[in-house]
Amino acid sequence: MTLETQSTIMAFGGSQGVYRHLSAETKTDMSFAVFVPPHEEGVKLPVIWYLSGLTCTHANVMEKGEYRRACAELGLIFVAPDTSPRGDNVPDDDGYDFGQGAGFYVDAIRHPWAANFRMRSYIEQELPQIIAAHFPADMSRQGIMGHSMGGHGALTIGLRHPDTYKSISAFAPIVSPINCPWGQKALSGYIGDDPVLWREYDACALIADGARTGALLVDQGTADNFLADQLKPELLTAACRDAGIDLTLNMRDGYDHSYYFISTFMAEHLRWHAARL
């Protein structure tokens, strides 16, 4: 596997890079961003995964997320993958909420999506091997976070692998794709019409089916125009209450769904992860 460095730039004493490789899972070139904080030679550092939302690439959080100062102070490697496979030969859809830019962190099984849309396996298996091989990463200390569709990805991946991800947080996550229009469109399109198969891609369903983690941190803006119809944090509150999971849900008065919201509370989330890693 050849890793191509597309760019590197110094920030807060560390290195912000963008990298590209040919993915065996998606059968496409995949780009991702990594910030490595200043550190002594030979030291292995904990890793925070950040999964982005609909229409985003690695660039959105890299340019707007304001995570580097906190990562440099806390000694955290920050990894930001893309949200889906891309390319002229990759299937797409006219809607912003399906196809390229909307991989939903699932392994698709329906044609024509199954050949390339394998973001679950890419994030859970392939990319961690690359990070371990090319960066000073301590893979025994990993946390995962995300925004919106990426919040859904962080919750579900973290809940499926509690021994791998020691900390899980999210900004305005889609907590139950089974119960919202975005999720129903994505899961039926990628997975099919059997709702039983959807449950492993729904945080609330995973918790109801026995998935457990020590604690969850979620921030949600009260002025988010997707709050009532798509995000529904009250469903996660109920699931965690019934399962005895320690959920901290911060309802942030006046904040919307944008990176103005995310960047405001990014350092707080990173400190929460660092305390657990």
Catalytic site positions? 148, 224, 257
Alpha carbon 134 to its chain's center: 20
Q: β-strands 215-221, 137-147: how paired?
A: unpaired
SS3 186: helix
Distance, CA of 240 to CA of 232 (rounded, Å):
14
Distance, CA of 204 to CA of 128 (rounded, Å):
25
Q: Read out DSSP for 60-96?
A: HHHHHS--HHHHHHHT-EEEEE-SS--STTS---SST
Q: Which residues pair with 118 in a beta bridge?
A: 107
